[in-house]
Amino acid sequence: MTTNSDHIPAQPSATEDVPTSPAKQVLRMLWRDKLAFFAAVFLILVILCAIFGPMLFEEEATRQDLRGRNAPPFDFSRNWLFWLGGDTLGRPLLARIIVAAQNTMMVAAGAVAASLAIGTTLGLIAGYSGPRTSQVIMRLADVIMSFPSLLLAVIVLYMLAPSVGNLIIVLAITRIPVYLRTSRAEVLEVRERMFVQAAQVMGASTRRIVFRHILPIVAPTLITIATLDFAFVMLAESSLSFLGIGIQPPEITWGLMVSQGRPYLTSAWWLSFFPGLVIILTTLSLNLLSNWMRTALDPVQRWRLEIARKKHG
Amino acid sequence: MKYQNGRVAAILLATTIAGQAMAQEQTVTVVLSEELDVVEPCMASRSNIGRVVLQNIAETVTEIVPGSGLQPRLATSWEDMGGGTWRFTLREGVTFHDGSSFTAEDVAHSIARTTGDQIVCEIGAKFFGGIAITTDIVDEHTIDITADPAQPILPLLMSTMTVVPAETPMDSFVETPVGTGPYTFDEYNVGQNITLSHYENYWGDMPEVLSATYLFRSDSAVRSAMVATGEADIAPNIAVQDATDPATDYAYPNSETVYLRVDHEIAPLNDVRVREALNLAVDRQAFVGTVLADGTLLATGMTPPSTLGYNAELEPYGYDPDRARELLQEAAADGVAVDSSITLIGRTGNFGNVLETMEALLQMFQDVGFNMELQMFEVAEWENSYSRPFAEDRGPTLVAAQHDNANGDPVFSMYFKYASDGLQSGIQDPQLDDMIAAATAATGEEREQLWSDTFAYIHDEIVGDVMLFHMVGFSRVNPRLAFEPTIKTNSELQLAQISFN
Amino acid sequence: MKSFLGKRAIASAISLIGLIVLVFFLSRLTGDPTALYLPVDASLESREQFRELHGLNDPLIVQFGTYVSDLVRFDFGDSIRRSEPALDAVLRAFAWTLQLALITMSLVIVTAVIVGSLAAFHVGGVFDRITTFFSLVGASAPDFWIAIVAIVLFSVNLGWVPTSGTGTLWHWILPVAVLFIRPFGLILQVVRGSMISVLGSAYVKTARAKGVRNRPIIFVHGLRNAMLPVITVIGDQAAALLNGAVVVETIFGFPGVGKLMIDSILQRDFSVVLAAIFVTAVAIFVMNILIDILYAVLDPRIRY
Amino acid sequence: MGETPLLEVRNLSVDFHTVGGKVHAVRNVSWHLSRGETLAILGESGSGKSVSASAIMNLIDCPPGEIVSGEILFEGQDVLKMSSNARRDLNGRRIAMIFQDPLSHLNPVYTVGFQIAETMTAHGTPRVQARSRALELMARVGIPDHEAKFDAYPHQFSGGQRQRLMIAMALALKPDILIADEPTTALDVTVQAQVLALLEELQQETGMGLLLITHDLGVVAEVADRVVVMNSGEIVEAGTASDVYHDPGHPYTRKLIAAVPGTGEMAAPLETGIKPILEVNGLTKHFGSFIALDDASLTVLPGETVAIVGESGSGKSTLAKTLLRLEEATSGEALWHGRDLVTMGQRELFSLRRDIQMVFQDPTQSLNPRMSVYDIVSEAFAIHPKILPRSQWKARVRELLDQVGLDANHMNRYPHQFSGGQRQRIAIARSLALEPKLIICDEAVSALDVSIQSQVMTLLTGLQDKLGLSYLFIAHDLPLVRDFAHRVIVMQDGRIVEQGPVAQIFEAPRQTYTRNLIAASLHPDPEIQARRRSERLAMAGD
C-alpha cells in the first residue's frame, strides 16, 4: 500500500534468484541480529535443560547437607554443580536451576498453549458468529479479565492440589482473554478481506473459512503474543510463589527458587540472584526473539534483517 | 519552574528530617509483621493485637512476669474460696482513659463480654472454652469469680483477661479501645499506622516512653531495614537470616514449640515402632544454627522450659537412622504396612524457614525408608487437617504445627493436643486422658509432678508425636533504647518497660 | 455516542453481575473461614457461635439471596476481619491504589512515549538498542525481587529514600519506581513498533515533502496516530494496576486494594473480596469506556 | 533552450536493498524541467518512474535505498550535496509534491485546515496569516463552503476534494516546482478531468514547472509538454508528447501505445431470441436509510458480456454483491434459469455457486497469501467434491493454469511470488475451476498496468469464445468497456440510467450523464485529446 513499493521493481520470480532453503534463510536473518541469535541459543540451552535436566541431575539437586548450607558461589575447588553456590539446605544451586527448568518450562508452555488454544477458538467463534454468541463470549472474557487471578489461584489450588498441572490451569484461564480479544479483533478485520469473500462465493463452509483462510492469517500475530506471554506467565508463576500460593516444594521452579531465596538477599544474595538471572535471561531472550520475529514476519521491515550491516551492534 | 522544584524538594527533605527528629525524642516506633484487623482488647491474645493493646492500653487482672511468676496487676491479691470460687481484691485509685474509675463491676462486665456469645472473643475462645464463669460483686473493689468446672489455675487464667469499662458494648468490637493502661489509644490510620500516647492519670509509675507509633510491614527484610535506617525503633519479630547485627538483634525464646502431630488412628502410624522410627530419623541438631536460629532448643514436650511441670530429665530422641530402619523392618515383619504413603503436611508461613525445615524433614524421613510426600497448605486448608473432625478418608498424616504457650501452665496445651476429644489430638488413650484430668485438677507441687509424669508418658511410653524444637525469636532494637525482649515479647510489648539509653 | 455509552454500560453491568455471581459461589468453595478467625484451641461451641454470627450456617443459596437483597440497597455486608462495612474498607484502600496507579501510569506514559518515539526515529541506532535492551531487562525481572533489591540498595545502603510505608512524598518514590518498570518496558516497545510503522506511512511522507521539521513530524504527525494501538496496551496495564499491585503493596506496606484483596482472599473475608472485585471491576469498566472515548477524540474517523 | 533549466537530474542511479538482494531502481536517469513547463514521466509499476522525484524531495529512506551516483541540480545547485536542513527548507517552499491516493497521504487525525497551514508555519509564516492564506487556498482550489470545511477531517471529503486539498497544501508557498505523482489515479473520470484542469490553471497562474508522474497515456496527452518514458529503471524514450505518441522510437513505447484500450472495433450485439441465463427484476438494496441499489433490472444472455459502468458510489458493486448473495437484497428478484437466487435456500445456493463466479478487483487481496496456487485453485474441488475425484485434482489444476497462460510448474508457489497480472490469472483460474456459466468481474483489471490489462482482457475474451461464458463486467474505465462489452449498462446513484448495445451507448448516448462520462475519458493521442478538451470546455461553457 505504501508508495515505497513503487520504488522497487516487481520481482516476478524472486525465488529463482534465491537458491537457499527457507531454513537457511531464517538462520541467516537470525545471525544478522546478534542479540536475537544469542537469545535463540540460550533458549535452546534452556529447552535442553528442561528435557534432560531432571534425568541427569535429579539426584544431586535434592541431596541435602544442612551443615553446608548457603555455600557461596564461585568456589571452583568444588564440584562444578556448586559453582553457583549452594542453597539453604546445602543443595547445589546450579543443579537445582537445571532441574527446575523442566517445571518452569512446563508451567509456562502448558499455560500458554492452553490459553492460546482455548482463547483463539473462542475468539474465532466470537469473530465469525452472530452478534448473540459473540456477545456472550465477550462478556465471558470481561468476567475472566476482572476475576482476580489470585482468587482463582486460591480457589483452584484449594479444591485441587497445588501441582504443576493445576498451576497451568490457573495461569491458562487468566491468559485466555488476551488471545480471545486479539483473535476476535483480527477475525473481524480478516473476514472482510477479499479472499474470504472469494471463498464464500465458491460456497466454502464457515468452518472452512475460519480454519483454512482466517486462522493462518491470524496465527503469526497470536504466536508473537504467545512468545511474550510465555515470559509473562513465568513472572506470574514466580509472583504466586512469592505470595505463597504457587507451586509447593519439593517441586521446584525458578520462580519458587527466587522467592525462597528472597529472605536471604542480604545474607546469601546468590540464592535468589541466580534463579532470578535465569528468569530474566529467558524472558529477555523471548522478548528479543519476538521482536526479531515481528520484524522477520513484516514484509515492510524485513529488509533490516536481510541487508548486511556495515557495523555490528 | 526550577525554583519551584527546588522548593518542593526542600519541603520534602524538611518533612523527612522532621520525622526523624521526632523519633529522637521520647517516642518509639514499632514495626509489626501484619496489620491489626481489630483493636479489641478481648482479641489481645493474637500476638500483633497484644503487642499494641496488652498492658499498654488494656491491663489484665493478674500478670505473668518472666522470672517471677504470677504477679498482681489490676488485682492486688486473690484467695481460693473453695468450690471453684476465687476472691480477687482489686486495685484502688485506678481510672479508665475515659475518666471513669475502675471497679468490680468493670471486671464482671469484661468477663461476661469476653466469655459471652454475642461476640466471638479470642481470649474467651482460647482460654475459657468449656468453662462457665460467673461473677459475684462483693463490694466496689472485691469480686468473687467462680469457674465450673473448678479451675485451680483461675488466677493464672485471669492473667489473660483484659479489663474494659462497664459501658463497653456487649455485642460489638470497639474501634477505640479504652482501658486502664499507661497509654491511650489515639488514632488508627488504617493501612498506615496506630498511635498511642501516655495516659496522664495512670496509676503506676510514669513511663519514659511518652508516645508510640505502630507500623506494619509483612516482609522481614523490610522490617529489619527500617530499624537499621532509623525509621523504626523496634521490630519485635524478624527472620533469623535478617538478624545479622549482634549490636541490635536480640534472640529470645518465644514460647513456640514446633512438632509433628502424628495421627495414631491410621496404620502404619498406629504402631509404636513406626512412631519411634520417625523420631529417630530426624537429625534435630542439624537444624540448629543452620535453618533455624542458634539457641533453638530440642523439644521433648509441648511446652517450653519456663512452663510448670517441664520435664528436664527427658532426653530428645537422638539421630539414629540405622535404628530407625531396623524398627521399620521389625514392624514390617509383623505385617505393619510401613511402606504405605504418608503425607507430611506443612503450613506456609507458619514460622521462619518453614519450607526449608519441611523439605529437610522430608528428606530425612525418606532416607530411612519412609514413603512420604510433602504438602504445603495455606492456613485454612492446613487447619482442616490439623483440627477435628478429621476427614474420614484421610491417609496416614503427619501435621507440622507450631504451638504457643507463654502462660506458664501446660493446661492450656495438654487437653487440646492430647486428650481423646482434644481438638488437635491425634491420640485416643484413656490412660493419658486420666493423667491430664488429674494434673488439671491438682495444685502446687503435685500439679507440677503430674504434668511432668504426663510429659514423660507421652514422650517415652507411647511416643505420641515427633517433638522437634522450642523456637527462638529475633527482635531488632534500635541501640538508643534500653529494651531486651523476653519470652513475653511474642505476645505483648510493654512500652512502659522501655527506657532510653 | 449516547447510545454507545448506554450499550457499553449495559454490557458492563451484565459482566459485573456475572462476575459477582461467579465469585460469590466460587469463593465459597475455598472453605470455611471459622478456622481462620478462632484460635486453633477454640471449642466446637465457639466455632458454631462464630458461624451463626456470620450467617455461615445457612445453605449457600440462602446466603446468596441475603447477599443479593443487601446488595440492591448497596450494602456489601461487613468485613469479618475488620468488623466494619466491607465497602468502607475497600474504598479506603482503593483510594491509595488509584493514586498509585495514576502517578505510575502518568510517568510511564510520558516517558515511554518520548523514549519510544525517539527510538523509533532511529531504528537500529545506539539509542534504540540501548533503550530496548534495558527496558526489556527491566520488564523481565520478577517485581518482588526488584523491590527488595531496591530497598537494600537505596534505603539501607544509600539512605536516599525511606524503605516503605506512606507519609511523605519520599515514600512514593520506591513503590512507584518498582511499579514503573514493567509497564514502561511493554509500552515502550508498543510505542516504538507503532511509531515505526506510522513513520513509514504516506502522510508522514507528505509532511516531509512539506518541509516539516523532524520533531513535529514525530510528535505532531506521528504520535497521535501511533497512540491508537498504544492506548489499548496502556488500558491493559492500567487495569492491572487498578486491580492492585499485590506484590509491591505487600512489600512496601502500601495500604492498597491489592493487599486488601490478597489478605481477604487468604482470610476468606468474602464480603471484602466481593466488594473489592466490584469496585475494581467498575473502575476498569469506566476506564475502558474512557479509553473508547479517547479513541474517538484522538481519531476523528471513529464515531460511535 | 539556452538558459539553465530550473531543475535538472543528471545520471541518477539509485539502488534498493531487498529480500532478493540489491535492486537497481533507476539507472543513469537524466531529465530537466523549466519554469512554466509540464514534463511527464510515463511508466508502468516498477519502472522506477517515482524514484527520481523522491530523490529530489529527500524521501528515499537510506537504507534500504542508496543513491549510487548522479546529481540533482536545482537552480544549478546539487541538492544531494546540501545539508538535510537546507533540503528540508526547499521542500514545500520551492519544490512541492502531491501524491496518488490523497486519503492515505493526508494525516487522518488532523483537520485539513491545519495541514494546509502547516506548510506555511513549517517555513516560518505566523499562524494567523497561515490560516487566512489556507482559507484563501481552499477557496481557490474549489472547496465549497471552505470556511466551515477548514476544521473538517480528510475522511469527510470526497476523493476529488482531497486531491484539491493536497494541491492547496502544495501550492501554499507558491513553489517553483510542483511534482505530481499519479495525482488522478483512482479518481473517477469526470473528477480526473477537473483536477487536471485545475493543475493547468494554477500552473498558468504561478508559472511553476510541473513534473507529472503517471502510467496513463491519456493524462500525458491531456497536460504534458514533454514526456519521458521509463521501463525497468531506465529512460527508453524522451520527446514532446505528440512526437512520442505518433512516432515512438522504442519497442516498449510502441507496445505501450498499442495496449491502450478504446481504439478497437466495438462488438456487435448478440442475436436476439436467445433465452437469458440471468434475469434481474427490480433488485433493491437498502443500507439503513441509504438506498445503494434502486430497482435494477437487467438480463444476461449466454456468451454475452454485459458491462456495468458508473462512477464510485453508483451502486455497481452492490449489484454484484447482491447477485452473489454476499449481501441480502431488500427486495426484487434475480432469476437464474428461472430460479430466484435472491430467496434461494442454502442448499440450492451451494450448487448455484458453481454456476456464478466472481473475479475481484485486487488480485493481491483476493488470493489468500498463505495458500499455494495449487491450494487456491483446487479449493474449488475441496468445497464441491462432486466436481472431481481427488486423484485428478493435480492434472486439472495444471490444465487450468495452462488455460490462463501460467506455467503449471509454478503451482506450488505462493501468490506474492507472482506479478499483479499473473495473480489475476490465478484468480481467473480459480473461478474457472468451478466451470461457471457466468463470471462477475468487479473492476477485474483496473489495478493492472495497461499492457497487462490488455493481456488479461484478451484471455477473458478467448475463454468466452472457447467456453461460452457470460461476463458481467463492472468497470469505471470506459475505453476498456468499449473494446470488450456486447452491451453496456450505465449506473448513477444506485439506479440504472441507460442501457443498450455498446455502439449505441458510445456513439449515441441519450443521457447527459453518459455523455459527460464519455467526454471526460482521456484519449492517448494528444491531438485528439486537445480537440476533445476544447469540445468539453465548450460544453461546460453552455
Which chains would you list as touching B if contact means 3+ CB atom pairs under 8 Å?
A: A, C
On whether residue C138 sits in a domain, the answer given is: yes
- In the three-class reduction of DSSP (H, G, I as helix; E, B as strand; rest coil), residue D214 is classed as strand
Summarize pLDDT for A56-111 with one digit per residue, the tens.
777 777 777 777 777 777 777 777 777 777 777 778 888 888 888 888 889 989 99
Residues A306, D50: C-beta atoms closer than 8 Å: no
On whether residue C39 sits in a domain, the answer given is: no
Summarize pLDDT for D297-336 with one digit per residue, the tens.
999 998 899 999 888 888 888 898 898 888 888 899 999 8
Q: At what angle do helices A22-32 and A270-297 cross, to 10 degrees?
A: 120
For residue C59, count other CB atoms closer than 10 A to its CB: 8
- The DSSP line for B360-384 is HHHHHHHHTT--EEEEEE-HHHHHH
The predicted pLDDT at position D18 comes to 66
Contact A71, A82 (CB under 8 A): yes
Three cell numbers written together for D405 = 497462460
Residues forming a β-bridge with B482: B499
List the end-to-end C-alpha distance of chain C, in Å, as a whole number.
Answer: 5
Question: Per-residue pLDDT averaged across D243-253, rounded?
Answer: 87
Beta strands at B342-347 and B211-216: parallel, antiparallel or unpaired:
unpaired
Three cell numbers written together for A190 = 480478516
Nearest Cα to B464, choosing from B261, B178, B244?
Answer: B261
Contacts of B244 in chain A (CB under 8 A): 266-267
Which of B105, B139, B160 lies at the terminal end of a domain, its last residue?
A: B160
Structural domain boundaries enclosing B156: 41-160
The predicted pLDDT at position D540 comes to 61
The predicted pLDDT at position D20 comes to 62
Nearest Cα to C211, choosing from D162, D111, D96, D56?
Answer: D96
For residue A49, count other CB atoms closer than 10 A to its CB: 21
Residues D61, A4: C-beta atoms closer than 8 Å: yes
The closest CB to that of D92, out of C200, C211, C224, belongs to C211
Contact D36, D28 (CB under 8 A): no
* DSSP secondary structure code for residue D80 in this structure: G
The closest CB to that of A238, out of C15, C142, C239, belongs to C142
Percent of chain D scored above 70 by pLDDT? 98
Contacts of C273 in chain A (CB under 8 A): 151
CATH of the domain at C264: 1.10.3720.10
The predicted pLDDT at position A20 comes to 52
Interchain touch A–B (≥3 Cβ pairs closer than 8 Å): yes
The predicted pLDDT at position A50 comes to 85
On whether residue B479 sits in a domain, the answer given is: no
Q: Which residue has the higher pLDDT, D196 or D272?
A: D196
Residues C156, B231: C-beta atoms closer than 8 Å: no
Q: Does C155 touch chain B (CB under 8 A)?
A: yes
* Most confident listed range (A250-254, C227-231, D439-443): D439-443
Within a 13 Å sphere around the CA of D95, how many CA atoms are in the beta-carbon half? 28
On whether residue B244 sits in a domain, the answer given is: no
Percent of chain B scored above 70 by pLDDT? 95
Residue A95 CB contacts under 8 Å (≥ 6 apart), including other chains: A57, A60, A61, A81
- The residue extents of the domains of chain A are 33-62+91-312
List the end-to-end C-alpha distance of chain B, in Å, as a whole number.
Answer: 46
On whether residue C232 sits in a domain, the answer given is: yes
Q: Are residues B139 and B267 located together in one domain of the fold? A: no
Which chains would you list as touching C if contact means 3+ CB atom pairs under 8 Å?
A: A, B, D
pLDDT higher than threshold 60 for residue D1: no
Residues A248, B242: C-beta atoms closer than 8 Å: no
Distances (CA, A) of B184 to B153, C132, D247: 31, 56, 110
Which of B135, B160, B185 lies at the terminal end of a domain, its last residue?
A: B160
Q: Does B438 touch chain A (CB under 8 A)?
A: no
pLDDT tier for residue D218 given thresholds of 50, 70 and 90: confident
Residues forming a β-bridge with B69: B65
CATH of the domain at B102: 3.90.76.10
The predicted pLDDT at position B7 comes to 43
Summarize pLDDT for C100-111 with one digit per residue, the tens.
899 999 999 999
Structural domain boundaries enclosing C110: 86-303
- Buried b or exposed e, range B453-487, using 16+ CB within 10 angstroms: ebbebbbbebbbbbbbbbbbbbbbbbeebebebbb
Residue B191 phi/psi, 5-degree rounding, is: 90, -15
CATH number 1.10.3720.10 is the correct assignment for the domain at A33-62+91-312? yes
Instruction: Spell out, as residue ranges, where chain B has pLDDT lower than 50.
Output: 1-23
Angle of CA points D442, D448, D451, to nearest 5°:
125
Which of the residues C144, C189, C197 would you substitute to probe the A interface, choosing the one with the greatest number of A C-beta atoms within 10 Å? C144
Within a 13 Å sphere around the CA of B221, how many CA atoms are in the beta-carbon half? 25
Summarize pLDDT for B297-353 with one digit per residue, the tens.
999 988 888 888 889 899 999 899 999 999 999 999 988 888 899 999 998 878 878
The closest CB to that of C30, out of B16, B37, B380, belongs to B380
Decide: residue C191, CB within 10 A, 0-12 exposed, 13-18 middle, 19+ buried. Answer: buried
The predicted pLDDT at position B100 comes to 92
Q: Where are the beta strands (DSSP E) in C221-281?
A: none
Q: Where are the beta strands (DSSP E) in A89-242?
A: none
The predicted pLDDT at position B396 comes to 92
The mean of the pLDDT values for chain D is 86
Please tell me the distance from the alpha carbon of residue C145 to that of residue B478, in angstroms, as a whole number: 27
Percent of chain B scored above 90 by pLDDT? 37
The predicted pLDDT at position A313 comes to 30
Look at chain C and report how many structural domains it folds into: 1
Q: Are residues B141 and B264 located together in one domain of the fold? A: no
Residues C140, A283: C-beta atoms closer than 8 Å: yes
Interchain touch C–A (≥3 Cβ pairs closer than 8 Å): yes
Nearest Cα to B36, choosing from D268, C84, C195?
Answer: C84
Please tell me the distance from the alpha carbon of residue B369 to that of residue B337, in angstroms, as a whole number: 12
Contact A241, A60 (CB under 8 A): no
Contacts of A3 in chain D (CB under 8 A): 50, 99-101, 181
Look at chain B and report how many structural domains it folds into: 2
Three cell numbers written together for D309 = 459502468
Residue with cell 505518441: D245
Summarize pLDDT for A138-187 with one digit per residue, the tens.
888 888 887 877 778 877 877 777 788 888 988 898 888 888 888 888 88
Spacing of C-alpha A222 from chain mean position = 11
Summarize pLDDT for D24-83 with one digit per residue, the tens.
888 888 888 988 899 999 888 778 888 888 888 888 877 777 888 888 888 888 888 888
Q: In B391-441, which residue ranges form alpha helices assigned H by DSSP?
A: 411-418, 430-441
Residues D155, C206: C-beta atoms closer than 8 Å: no
Interchain touch B–D (≥3 Cβ pairs closer than 8 Å): no
The predicted pLDDT at position C158 comes to 81
Q: Are residues B145 and B287 located together in one domain of the fold? A: no
Sign of the CA dihedral A288, A292, A298, A300? positive
Instruction: Spell out, as residue ranges, where chain C has pLDDT lower than 50.
Output: none
Spacing of C-alpha C190 from chain mean position = 19
On whether residue B245 sits in a domain, the answer given is: no
- Report which secondary-structure segment, H or E, holds D21: strand D21-33
**Shortest alpha-carbon distance between residue D447 and chain A (Å):** 12
Which of B123, B138, B160 lies at the terminal end of a domain, its last residue?
A: B160
ipTM for the predicted complex comes to 0.78
Please tell me the distance from the alpha carbon of residue B304 to that of residue C218, in angstroms, as a whole number: 72
